[in-house]
Amino acid sequence: MPKSDWYSAFKHPDPNRWSLFSDTNIARHTQQRRVFQNLYSMSSLVSYESYVDECADLLQGHLSQAARRREGVDMMHWFQCYAYDVIGNMTFSKRLGFLDRGDDVGGLLQAGNGALVYSVLVGIYASWHPFLHKLSCWFRLGGARMRDQLATFVGEQIGKRKKASQEDKPTPSGPATAEDFLQKLMNKASSEGSTKVTDYHLFALGLSNITAGSDTTAASLSGILYLLLKNPAAMEKMRAEVDGAATDGRFSDGHLAFKDSLQMPYLQAVIKEAMRVYSVTGLPMWRVVPAGGVEIGGTFFPEGSHLGINPCGRR
pLDDT (tens digit per residue) in 190-220: 877 666 778 888 888 888 888 777 888 899 9
> Which amino acid is present at 16?
N
What is the chain's length? 315
Average confidence score pLDDT of the chain: 86
174: pLDDT strictly greater than 60: no
Summarised one tens digit per residue, pLDDT across range 113-154 is 888 888 899 999 999 999 988 887 777 666 566 666 778 888
In 69-141, which residue ranges form alpha helices assigned H by DSSP? 75-92, 98-101, 108-122, 129-138
Q: Is the dihedral of CA 271, 276, 278, 280 positive or negative?
A: positive
pTM of the entire predicted model: 0.86
| Residue 144 pLDDT | 60
* SS3 state of residue 167: coil
For residue 170, what are the CA distances in angstroms to 155, 161, 177, 191, 206?
Answer: 19, 10, 12, 19, 20
| Residue 301 pLDDT | 96
171: pLDDT strictly greater than 80: no
What residues have CB less than 8 Å from 143, skipping those under 6 apart? 114, 115, 116, 117, 118, 119, 122, 136
Rounded CA-CA distance 7/5 in Å is 5
| Residue 176 pLDDT | 46
Domains of the chain in start order, with CATH, are 5-216 (1.10.630.10)
What residues have CB less than 8 Å from 217, skipping those under 6 apart? 79, 83, 86, 87
287: pLDDT strictly greater than 80: yes
Return the percentage of the chain with pLDDT > 90, whole number.
42
